[in-house]
Chains A and B, each alone.
Chain A
């Protein structure tokens, strides 16, 4: 479980995150949704410590991450896997080396164990046989999947995915959503997914946090979201005609 308590973050005068509190539960896929520029990525980066929040605390299973020094944080970082919005694969390494990198750095596996672990991860993301390619030789969707494979290679307790399926075709997007749900359940991970793709939200979410102008404007699950009377949330969900039609039919 990850708990955010009163997180605030500004850049200069621009107040991006304003007093956000949230709980991301273990074994569940917790979604952060909101419009582009609403502060989802900044909130995620504050949570994992890539940005320092101006105020507030982040707790990983009760451990106050914000108060820790670099060395103490390292222990928690080993338990975190993250998929970045742009993939963030090391472009000087092959796919296999990318996935192996955290293992080499932090596990005490021997070479054979590492290789079989890499093969497992590649199979999970349906990329068997692509281990020797460089990131530059992969399509955007494949890069995302390698990003996931690298994020899960250390069997993380906490998994963060920033826009796991933006820029993917609907079919691949579903494959990725399912993959995230499966591994979350299988390993009992605390998963946080940042997204503005309503399909994923409906398909894959257990809990939903809707961010609007740096504040949490709605918390709940799928069913609650659909019937919420928050205007900003409704504008967000029912932005497309199709969604509005579906809602009217449901009513």
Chain B
């Protein structure tokens, strides 16, 4: 009895490490790419919009607000729903239709605990971390492009980044992201885990996982924004 606990824990830990690699590490590239471009585009867009009487520091300010308040915390989870959510659903769906989940159950293993829980924990840890990274990269790339194209001086950009900054915004963003991460992993896991049929149904589950995750994230975003910003 005492001997087998560590082994079980080892199996669980290995699952968790695997999921953190898939959900976290393997998403770093896409998140970085999107954030860098989004920061740069936001910077150029704002520079293009402002004229004459609007101060130049608005550029830094707008990049900061967009990245921190909406792009990183909301759109990154939405994009990850397409990548990670479909992966979760199709993996669990395949295990279901090829009876691998039944095989676990027959051994007396709690299949949801072994397969679903590590994914949810991994999402809970990795997605907020990716979002923080996204914020940083977005701001840095905004500053970079501003200097490169000369639309704003570094001093103006920096001033924009700092003006009226409330650290609650970051807390707010991370609360949102954490909720979205939980929604995305659990909705996708649900659709995968309860697949029945064959390969066709696995494909359907994977589509459903993405669509439902995105819709629920968007609805929740509306509610949370109302709740947390008032």
> Which residues of A does B touch, CB under 8 Å?
45, 48-50, 73-75, 77-78, 80, 82, 84-92, 101-102, 104-108, 110
When distances are taken between beta carbons in the complex, the residues of chain A under 8 Å from B102 are 45, 50, 84, 88
| Residues 1-33 of chain B, each 1 if its beta carbon lies under 8 Å from chain A, else 0 | 101100110110000001000000000000000
Contact (Cβ within 8 A) A50 B98: no
Q: How far is the CA of A77 from the CA of B103 in the complex (A)?
A: 11
- Expressed in whole angstroms, the minimum distance between the Cβ of A194 and any Cβ of chain B is 14
How many A-B residue pairs lie within 8 Å, measured between CB atoms?
Answer: 61
Q: How far is the CA of A62 from the CA of B33 in the complex (A)?
A: 63
Any A CB within 8 A of the CB of B107: yes
Q: How far is the CA of A228 from the CA of B70 in the complex (A)?
A: 75
Any A CB within 8 A of the CB of B106: yes
Contact (Cβ within 8 A) B99 A106: no
Q: How far is the CA of A88 from the CA of B11 in the complex (A)?
A: 19
Q: How far is the CA of A224 from the CA of B112 in the complex (A)?
A: 46
Q: How far is the CA of A89 from the CA of B18 in the complex (A)?
A: 19
Any A CB within 8 A of the CB of B169: no
Interface residues on B, range: 10 to 19
Contact (Cβ within 8 A) B106 A80: yes
Given contacts A73-B108, A78-B108, contact A104 B100 (CB under 8 A): no
Contact of A88 among B1, B10, B18, B100 (CB under 8 A): B100
Contact of B4 among A45, A88, A101, A108 (CB under 8 A): A108
- Expressed in whole angstroms, the minimum distance between the Cβ of B5 and any Cβ of chain A is 10
Interchain Cβ contacts under 8 Å between A and B, 12 examples:
A50-B105, A82-B103, A90-B100, A92-B18, A101-B107, A104-B4, A105-B8, A105-B108, A106-B107, A106-B108, A107-B4, A110-B3
When distances are taken between beta carbons in the complex, the residues of chain A under 8 Å from B163 are none
- Expressed in whole angstroms, the minimum distance between the Cβ of B185 and any Cβ of chain A is 18
- Expressed in whole angstroms, the minimum distance between the Cβ of A163 and any Cβ of chain B is 12
Q: How far is the CA of A170 from the CA of B18 in the complex (A)?
A: 41
| Residues 78-101 of chain B, each 1 if its beta carbon lies under 8 Å from chain A, else 0 | 000000000000000010001110
Any A CB within 8 A of the CB of B109: yes
**Looking across the interface, which residue of chain B has its beta carbon closest to that of A104?**
B7
Given contacts A104-B11, A105-B7, contact A89 B100 (CB under 8 A): yes
Q: How far is the CA of A108 from the CA of B6 in the complex (A)?
A: 10
